[in-house]
């Protein structure tokens, strides 16, 4: 995928994230993966789903907390938070656009019920996929991000744009993932 296509997809997904509520997105910039500080680098720069990566990092199951959902013409779009289970801590927010026609009935039902993150649905239903992070970015926390992440101060946040595809290369989902600030992290 060309750099201009990556930038357009990030803009589209940021539009999904900010589209519900009428606010404009804060400034963001794409960043080379090598310039992402730890621990964000380890959490973002890989070809796995984010659910399993966050579960391994935090040593806890990850839960889905939908903030807004809409389905139209076979595409389900959601703004979500991911949080650890017991204790509840928001560790990521994002937007996802899911091609529902690419999933069987069991997986589609789990996705629509929004009881677990997409990565957990993929594991539960044994859906084979390829994860392809296309771009990484840094974004300033604005009012919406502070509300969703339960932040009291402004932060520079790190994220990625990822595409999950089936074995034939058809897009299953396009994901914008923004991590919560970490203690003792640079940036």
Q: What is the pLDDT of residues 121-167, one digit of tens each?
A: 999 999 999 999 999 999 999 999 999 999 999 999 999 999 999 98
The residues, any chain, with a CB within 8 Å of residue 85's CB and separated by 6 or more, are 60, 61, 62, 63
Residue 186: is its pLDDT beyond 60? no
Q: Of all helices (H) and strands (E), which one includes residue 6?
A: helix 3-19
SS3 77: strand
Q: Is the pLDDT of residue 8 over 80?
A: no
Instruction: Please give the average per-residue pLDDT across 45-63, as a whole number.
Output: 93
* pLDDT band, residue 4 (cuts 50/70/90): very low
Q: Which fold has domain 3-179?
A: Chorismate lyase (3.40.1410)
Computed over every residue of the chain, the mean pLDDT equals 89
The single-letter DSSP state of residue 74 is T
User: For 38-43, what is the mean pLDDT?
Assistant: 96
**Residue 49 in 3-state DSSP?**
coil
Residue 129 φ then ψ, to 5°: -155, 165
- The answer on pLDDT for 116 being more than 50 is yes
Q: What is the DSSP string of 110-158?
A: HHHHTSS-HHHHHHHTT---EEEEEEEEEEE--HHHHHHHT-SS--EEE
Predicted pLDDT at 58: 94
CA distance linking residue 102 with residue 63, whole number of Å = 23
In the predicted model, is pLDDT for residue 187 greater than 70?
no
Angle formed at CA 45 by CA 48 and CA 66, multiple of 5 degrees: 60
CA atoms of 96 and 77, how far apart (whole Å): 6
Window from 20-24, 26-30, 40-44 with minimum mean pLDDT: 20-24
pTM: 0.90
CB 158 within 8 A of CB 136: yes
């Amino acid at each position: 995928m060309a750099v201009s296509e990556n930038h357009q997809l990030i803009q589209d997904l940021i539009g999904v994230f900010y589209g519900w509520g009428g606010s404009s997105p804060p400034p963001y910039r794409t960043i080379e993966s090598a310039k992402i500080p730890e621990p964000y680098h380890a959490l973002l720069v890989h070809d796995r789903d984010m659910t399993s990566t966050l579960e391994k990092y935090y040593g806890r199951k990850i839960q889905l907390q939908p903030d807004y959902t809409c389905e139209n013409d076979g595409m389900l779009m959601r703004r979500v938070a991911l949080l650890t289970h017991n204790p509840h801590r928001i560790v990521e927010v994002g937007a996802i656009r899911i091609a529902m026609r690419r999933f069987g009935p069991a997986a589609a039902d789990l996705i629509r019920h929004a009881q677990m993150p997409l990565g957990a649905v993929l594991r539960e239903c044994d859906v084979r996929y390829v994860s392809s992070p296309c771009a990484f970015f840094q974004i300033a926390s604005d009012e919406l991000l502070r509300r969703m992440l339960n932040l009291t101060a402004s932060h520079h946040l790190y994220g990625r744009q990822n595409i999950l595809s089936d074995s034939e290369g058809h897009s299953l989902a396009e994901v914008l993932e923004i991590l919560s600030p970490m203690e003792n992290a640079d940036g």
